[in-house]
Structure 1
């Protein structure tokens, strides 16, 4: 959706399609009609933004063939859909029965991760609306925290230098600016604001920056105002914001029905206690209260004693979009866990999933309007 900040700056609000399993071009086009078109109709918006997820094989196919990129752009335009951001975190197989730590591979020490991300940049340059100022691609925060060493850090830094050079080449060839955003996440090399400053401050900040996922920020128990102030001081730009909410509770036993086999649900308490998955935290008896990396629908409050980190989202949006100038112009709703919610909360049909995503986008739009954003 196209929104406008009181300063006049356009803001783009979208939803991330990594909630859908399609990993080939035919499947991606099919999901436009199944989900995106009904969502746009429900919201009554002229144009609906998608944070498109393209698995590595289809990204490579599109990057190699201008006619395929033109075809995809035409399919989007015909349905009133637009893309200014891509999710380049999951490489492929994001809806396998078990994903867990596989989602962090290949990491930023590898040529595969570099090639995939530059493929996405080439594709996005042709998908961008003509009047969009720039595009963004979000990616993982270097890699999982172990094994990681000074040597792997140096290798990743060289990959990031090559990434910046590749993005400059895309801009030279197409005239479109594409920036890549590293997304701090619990358990990774870059989890906290301090780690972002330590590991990423030396990169080319004209083309590289951060993707601020608000569920991840909450799970780190960081205050948004403090985190954003530290990033500003370090000169690290916010390229993209993922609008997401994590689970929170002072009664961990209430979370047992959320244990599931596909995704990793890192769990944190405010005193620094940590577990890499929800079942591990329950088995160890990690002291509460907990925040759990389990993206839950923005607009649906769970039953007590469970809550969500929506208050953190609101605090962050006030800092990001409530000032005289916005700190970011790309906002992507990223609730990829609809299909693994407890059965009573899980959408049973494509229509119900589309309605749920529309509810999240309507919620996000309303929150931004509370800050004076229009559209």
Structure 2
């Protein structure tokens, strides 16, 4: 979906297709013809934005084959779909039975991560609409936190320097501006906004490399939105893209009913980093007994933004709304790319059981976000 800011800027809202499992071209096209098309119809919009997730093997194929790329473009066109952003965080296997820490590999010290991102740049330059101000690709925050060293950090810096050169070349050769967005995440080398801002400072200014602000991750770390935006502004680091999502919140971990309900979210597929207000954190829900339980917990479990969990559990939609105010509610938008990224539908307690129910859930999230965006004064472009 598209929205016009009061300053004339075009703001895009999409949903991320990493919720869908396919990793080959035929499967991705089937998803577009199926669930994505249903979401657009549920919302009754002329054009729906999709933030494509392309596994590395498919990104390589699309970058090399005009025939394959045209097949994907035709599928997007016939379903009224557009792409301004790609999710370049998961490399492959995002719907394996157990994903866990595999999602952080290969990291930014490994050549496979660089090659994958270069392929995504080439693909997006050919897919994005001509009237989009830029295209964006979100990526992991360097690596999981261990092991790390000055040498590994230097290797990551060299890779990003090569990315910056390629982005400039693509813009010169095609007229398409592509930007790469580093996404802080709990447990990673860059897990909080100040860390990511410090690392990204060399790319500050009207940048091709900046930050992907995931509002779920920010909330899990108990980061204050106002402080976070002030930190980025002071350093000149730009928000290239924001994943507008919500985390699971446990107001009172000592509540027996809260702990019982929390067990329903302790599934083995994804990593669910958990943080305690004012205290330490653990890497997954099965480790929460290590926490004191004397203060609120927040869990890296992307929950639907439009529907609160069963009480006494809640979600961090308040943090999301606060971030939206900063992102697009001011005199000028701080980013033009917003993406709903609830990839956990398949592991939610009482989650959807078929494609129609999934499409209805995704559409309900986007409708909720649309109401908040228009409530900030933006006008939906029909």
| Residue equivalent to 2:346 | 339
- In the superposition, relative to structure 1, how do residues 174 and 67 fare at CA in structure 2: closer, same or farther (>3 Å)? farther
C-alpha deviation, 1:132, in angstroms: 1.1
| Residue equivalent to 1:321 | 328
Question: 8 Å contact 1:210–1:237 — kept in the other structure?
Answer: yes
Secondary structure at the aligned position of 2:287 is classed as helix
TM-score by length of 2: 0.95
Matched, 1:362 2:367: yes
* Consecutive unaligned residues in structure 2, runs of 5 or more: 254-258
Secondary structure at the aligned position of 1:324 is classed as coil
Partners of 1:300 and 1:201 in 2: CA distance = 37
| Residue equivalent to 1:148 | 148
Question: 8 Å contact 1:161–1:204 — kept in the other structure?
Answer: no
Question: 8 Å contact 1:297–1:360 — kept in the other structure?
Answer: yes
C-alpha deviation, 1:287, in angstroms: 4.1
C-alpha deviation, 1:172, in angstroms: 2.4
Which of residues 258, 262, 270 is equivalent to 1:255? 262
Partners of 2:41 and 2:290 in 1: CA distance = 45
| Residue equivalent to 1:179 | 179
C-alpha deviation, 1:272, in angstroms: 3.1
Which of residues 304, 311, 326 is equivalent to 2:311? 304
| Residue equivalent to 1:99 | 99
| Residue equivalent to 1:201 | 201
Question: 8 Å contact 2:107–2:113 — kept in the other structure?
Answer: yes
C-alpha deviation, 1:72, in angstroms: 1.2
* Consecutive unaligned residues in structure 1, runs of 5 or more: none
Question: 8 Å contact 2:204–2:237 — kept in the other structure?
Answer: no
Secondary structure at the aligned position of 2:95 is classed as coil
C-alpha deviation, 1:239, in angstroms: 0.2
TM-score by length of 1: 0.97
- The CA RMSD measured in Å over matched residues stands at 1.2
Stretch moving more, 195-204 or 145-154: 195-204
Partners of 2:93 and 2:310 in 1: CA distance = 32
C-alpha deviation, 1:288, in angstroms: 3.1
Matched, 1:330 2:337: yes
Give the number of aligned pairs.
373
Matched, 1:38 2:38: yes
Secondary structure at the aligned position of 2:83 is classed as strand
- In the superposition, relative to structure 1, how do residues 148 and 236 fare at CA in structure 2: closer, same or farther (>3 Å)? same
